[in-house]
Structure 1
Amino acid sequence: LEWCWCFLVWLLHYLGFLKPFLAFADRFKDGPVQVVYLPESIKKLLLTCSILFLFGSLSLSLSRFYVSTLLCIETGSRD
């Protein structure tokens, strides 16, 4: 699972999603900013992460269902 996060961070960096986020975080190094807003690229990043999380959890639940179905077929028992 750790390599998935590394690949996700690399992919987001490769696609250019992390550059605006790093520039946005760089604003705070000299002191707090009065008005904080989310740039459009940050909204895209959050949307992309939520879609990836949704598909990841869906595929995980489908794979668990598939494995439990295979076990039921092999053992001949049902839960």
Structure 2
Amino acid sequence: MKEEFKLYIRELLSWNKKFNLTAITNPEEIKIKHFEDSLSLLQVLKLTTQSIIDIGSGAGFPGLPLKLACPQIKLT
């Protein structure tokens, strides 16, 4: 797993204690239910140089995992 995803998990769990960003607090579940679910969009989207708008993403899903996996996309 990329270091950026590990950092995301650490930060998510830290901030979740203050703001209840997600009910999923097990790191393995975060990988599956947040990261893998978010990245499953790569199977249907062609993310080469596209722009993506992620409205109301809350804890950053699916936008931030997509940006980490495909840094060339423009994410708003």
TM-score clears 0.5? no
Indicate the structure with greater helix content: 1
- Pick the structure with greater CA Rg: 1
Structure with higher RCO (Cα < 8 A, 6+ apart): 2
TM class by shorter-chain length? 0.3 to 0.5
